[in-house]
Amino acid sequence: MRRLACGLLVIGLAAGSPRGAKAQPSPSENADAWRVHAGGHLTVDGGLVLGLPVALGTGLSTGVGVGAMTMLSPVFSWGVRASWATATESSMVWSVTHADLRLRAAAAVQHSAGRGRFGLRLGAGPSVIHESRVRNQGMLAGLTGTALETSAFTTVPAVDLEAVIAVHILGPWLLAMSGGPSLARLDGGAHWGFTGQLGVGWQP
């Protein structure tokens, strides 16, 4: 009788553990997803851009930016970047909107430590500016054409110098932050500003 009970118990345990059941991941497998992966030489990033308008005296531009950088060595990388941002300001007479498209060729020096990568990036290239002016209450006054609204494009050369921090979060994904001063040649003189970006990066 005792042997029969033991046999039934063994059969019941075997039935409760089907061969097709998937094994639970081990703690080491869960931890592996959080480890730092060296990845390849290419890093792509994008995110929210904040900065001063290229040609507008006041206000804060907001928009989006993307970039791709390739490592030529552990301490040097180069690539391309682009961002688009807008800002709107008003006076007693006009409402002015500036849209800035910044296109840059970039080079960076960097150092890796643990999960982080720290660097200094220099970017140079054109900034395409679109300005739109609308006269406040102009439609109520019956204004039309250029008396009511004007629009213009201009392109100026510019350079950006940014501190860059990238931290590995999960697998090939990074938290990417950058920011620093910007200089554009406008109307024969220098126009200083700043630019910054907060987003995510991918290093396959």
Residue 17: per-residue pLDDT:
46
Residue 145: per-residue pLDDT:
60
- Helices assigned H by DSSP within the chain: 2-15, 27-32
Residue 146: per-residue pLDDT:
64
Expressed in angstroms, the distance from the first to the final Cα of the chain is 63
Residue 10: per-residue pLDDT:
45
Residue 59: per-residue pLDDT:
84
| pLDDT (tens place) for every residue of the chain, 204 residues total | 555 444 544 444 444 444 444 555 555 555 555 566 556 899 999 999 999 999 887 789 999 999 999 999 999 999 999 999 999 988 777 788 999 999 999 999 999 988 899 999 999 999 999 999 887 766 555 666 666 678 899 999 999 999 999 999 988 999 999 999 999 998 889 999 999 999 999 998
Residues with Cβ within 8 Å of residue 69, at least 6 apart in sequence: 42, 43, 45, 77, 78, 79, 106, 108
Whole-angstrom distance, CA of residue 44 vs CA of residue 67: 6
Integer angstrom CA distances of residue 74 from 38, 86, 168: 11, 36, 16
Residue 37: per-residue pLDDT:
59
Look at residues 39, 81, 78, 82 and name the one whose alpha carbon lies nearest to residue 169. 39
Q: pTM score, two decimals?
A: 0.77
Whole-angstrom distance, CA of residue 149 vs CA of residue 153: 14
* Spatial contact of 171 and 184, defined as CB atoms under 8 Å apart: no
Residue 142: per-residue pLDDT:
61
Whole-angstrom distance, CA of residue 181 vs CA of residue 8: 77
User: Which domains are seen in the chain, by residue range?
Assistant: 27-84+102-127+156-202 (2.40.160.20)
